[in-house]
Amino acid sequence: MGVTIRDVARIAKVSISTVSRVLNDKCNVSEDKRVRVERAARDLGYIPNPAAQSLHSSRTGSLGVLLPFVSGEFYAEFLNGVDKTAQNGDWLLMISTSHNSEDELRAALKGMYRRVDGLLIMAPNITAESVLMQPHDDIPVVFVNTRCEDEAISLITFDNHGGMREMTRHLIATGHTRIGFIRGPVLAFDAAERERGYRDAHREAGLTVNEELIVPGKYSQQSGHDGAVRLLGMDPRPTAIMASNDDSAIGALSAIREAGLDVPSDVALTGFDDVPSARFTVPPLSTVHVPVRELGARSIEVLMECIKTGQISRLPHQTMDVELRIRKST
Amino acid sequence: MGVTIRDVARIAKVSISTVSRVLNDKCNVSEDKRVRVERAARDLGYIPNPAAQSLHSSRTGSLGVLLPFVSGEFYAEFLNGVDKTAQNGDWLLMISTSHNSEDELRAALKGMYRRVDGLLIMAPNITAESVLMQPHDDIPVVFVNTRCEDEAISLITFDNHGGMREMTRHLIATGHTRIGFIRGPVLAFDAAERERGYRDAHREAGLTVNEELIVPGKYSQQSGHDGAVRLLGMDPRPTAIMASNDDSAIGALSAIREAGLDVPSDVALTGFDDVPSARFTVPPLSTVHVPVRELGARSIEVLMECIKTGQISRLPHQTMDVELRIRKST
DNA sequence: TAGTTTCATGAAAACCTTTTCATGAACCTG
DNA sequence: CAGGTTCATGAAAAGGTTTTCATGAAACTA
């Protein structure tokens, strides 16, 4: 079917060993044959068969990326960083989603067996430890934003707890005491951390958390909308609403406006993540900036580094800083 | 390193041929050996080496997806449909981006040579014909939202022109005659089609297009913001602004609000794509609904079908319908 | 019972590379 | 000039799977 190394050898009138040498080592081959081989390869449009290369070298040239979802600005930005960095390093990306299901994660993992040289896994509602056994015992794995206590596992996170605590402090400092909180998914590690930040800031300020003000959410715009509707229906209603991420803040914003209220004069509103849209809401959203793209880039850098040095993930856990972006919604 | 078919054969005390038969054909093998093999495979956690399988069968089990970008809600939604459909069909995805550069596209194409069984390409500012030669002569290729005249090339698009014409008609019907237009990227096929829709609706209504009212943009929120600032600075200013996509409409919306104007009473605003956020802007955005996720899903379905039937893309061009979603911004 | 068919089984080839090994030829060195 | 070294080259093995082919035993048919 395709053109193989034999074809090149035949046209160049040399052995396939020589062709391979020219195309790889570039040493110990006469000038004469080198040009013949290079010319034949170019004329035929020869590209080595990656399956054969991989079979021999057990390298694939691909990285596996496993995310909970692929839609939404957060993941899109993350992928942006991942993609750019991988492309620079000349790696191909194999991408799959788990929908936060451990079974799907395992299935994807199995599907990528021997198809990738390293794995990047984001699984906020599964522990890294529970996933890591399984077939991939001999390639580096880097976890991102995942619950993980084992220091021997490579992990990169950002400060979910600290970011939300800071933001809560900011609201308390500007006089709010009745602050609604729209949670993230029940099982998500990062959602729990964010809620913990909300609680800790209250405690530090000597305020007790009114459990009624914490309503469920799913990080989606729709769930943020619904959560805000619920909070606004309370009497007295909260003077501020903290959404667990920007998407739900955007949903909450539309609910607040539908109720005929103004942000921030009637209700202050905050998000988390600082997705690109957060700058362009009306009013611009005060939120916790997470370096999402850099997070993706860094994760791939670490993974590439592990592969290069042959390490099966023994890097210290890294936590990326977040910072408040106070705009006009508070 | 890993466990191979030989190991299974050794443990089960049969030949490797028998192991392969058990794991594939399932015919012509005695019950006795079958259970021994199945048991050994399970105990050892055997997974066939995909490189070896691919070398033999020249199947990879992967699909290549080439997009201009990966960030932004549009691509994220598209990927969502792609991912779900591929996962259902038990295909892995190899994803890469071209950044609208023909060179990058070619490089990615070359990188995917023999690594995928089919290709999905979205390249709005390149023609399908110019890309299609190159190494991939023997696998199916499906183009999406790409300029393509050759009927022998598989293509799936949506009605960029008709959608924008309809939306323009809607604005004209509600009394607008001075309608600003924020373009998309200069070389993008779909951006040109959308502009053509804007112009055609004007012509049909007997209006001449004021070229000054057409300002450049890049489909991004920032460029939409800048475009709107420019349009609002005109005297008299337009009574409506059409953005070429939702992202730039979101940017324009923030610019309009910064100028102290109201949507829609001072300025009407429209988008294109109907990304998830469009429902949650304030006010909710009138836009042209594009079935983005279905587009991704359909493209993969077509690709899988081509692969199954062994066709190298001879399907008739398909155009998916778009429809107006009139919300509160007009 | 002799001859034929069916069937389970293992050996070996093929897929395409890369790399090791063996073979000579050409080149030094004392 | 004899012995040793360097170097270009091709043959062959290895990597793990699937598939074809050959073998021989068991099962049928006349």
Q: How far apart are CA A114 and CA A48, in angstroms?
A: 19
Reported CATH class of domain A160-289: alpha beta
pLDDT tens string for chain B (330 positions)? Answer: 689 999 999 999 999 999 999 999 777 888 889 999 999 999 999 999 999 999 999 999 999 999 999 988 999 999 999 999 999 999 999 999 999 999 999 999 999 999 999 999 999 999 998 887 665 678 999 999 999 999 989 999 999 999 999 999 999 999 999 999 999 999 999 999 999 999 999 999 999 999 999 999 999 999 999 999 999 999 999 999 999 999 999 999 999 999 999 999 999 999 999 999 999 999 999 999 999 999 999 999 999 999 998 877 667 899 999 999 999 999
Q: Looking at chain A from residue 280 to 299, which residues have their Cβ under 8 Å from any Cβ of chain B?
A: 280-284
Q: What letters, b where the CB count within 10 A reaches 16 and e where it falls short, cover A273-298?
A: bbbbbbbbbbbbbbbbbbbbbbbbbb
Look at residue A309 and tell me whether its pLDDT is greater than 70.
yes
Which residues of chain A are in CATH 3.40.50.2300 domains? 60-159+292-322, 160-289
Of A52, A75, A135, the CB nearest to B47: A135
Of A69, A90, A114, the CB nearest to B51: A114
Query: Which class for A299: exposed (0-12), middle (13-18), buried (19 or more C-beta within 10 A)?
Result: buried
Each residue's pLDDT tens digit, A162-214: 999 999 999 999 999 999 999 999 999 999 999 999 999 999 999 999 999 99
Residue B234 has φ and ψ, to the nearest 5°, of: -80, 160
Question: Using the CA of A114, which nucleotide's C1' is the nearest one?
Answer: D16
Q: What CATH superfamily classification does A5-48 receive?
A: lambda repressor-like DNA-binding domains (1.10.260.40)
Of A73, A87, A280, the CB nearest to B73: A73
Which residues of chain B are in CATH 3.40.50.2300 domains? 60-159+292-321, 160-289
DSSP letter string, A12-65: HTS-HHHHHHHHTT--S--HHHHHHHHHHHHHHT----HHHHHHHH---SEEEE
Say what the pLDDT of residue B62 is. 98
Can you list the alpha helix ranges (DSSP code H) found in chain B? 5-12, 16-23, 31-44, 50-57, 73-88, 102-111, 128-132, 160-173, 189-204, 221-232, 246-258, 292-309
Question: Using the CA of B16, which nucleotide's C1' is the nearest one?
Answer: C10
Say what the pLDDT of residue A28 is. 83
Question: CATH classification of A60-159+292-322, choosing from 3.20.80.10, 3.30.70.20, 3.40.50.620, 3.40.50.2300?
Answer: 3.40.50.2300
Asked if residue A293 keeps its beta carbon closer than 7 A to nucleic acid strand D, the reply is no
Q: Do A95 and B73 lie within an 8 Å CB cutoff? A: no
Q: Do A55 and B49 lie within an 8 Å CB cutoff? A: yes
Hey, how many other C-beta atoms are within 10 angstroms of the C-beta on A151? 11
Look at residue A315 and tell me whether its pLDDT is greater than 90.
no
Question: Using the CA of A56, which nucleotide's C1' is the nearest one?
Answer: D15
* Tokens (6 digits) for B239: 């009574």
Which of A47, A57, A92, A134 is most worth mutating to test chain B (most B CB atoms within 10 A of its CB)? A92
Say what the pLDDT of residue B315 is. 79
Look at residue A136 and tell me whether its pLDDT is greater than 80.
no
Mean pLDDT in residue range A122-139: 83
pLDDT category at A313 given cuts 50, 70, 90 is low
Helix (H, G, I), strand (E, B) or coil at B280: helix
Length of chain A: 330
H/E element, A243: strand A240-243
Say what the pLDDT of residue A310 is. 81
CA of B35 to C1' of D29 (A): 34
Say what the pLDDT of residue A279 is. 94
Q: What CATH superfamily classification does B60-159+292-321 receive?
A: Response regulator (3.40.50.2300)
> Position of tokens 């109201």?
B262
Nucleotides of C under 7 A from a protein CB: 7-12, 14-20
Hey, how many other C-beta atoms are within 10 angstroms of the C-beta on B251? 28
As a whole number of Å, the CA-based R_g of chain B is 26
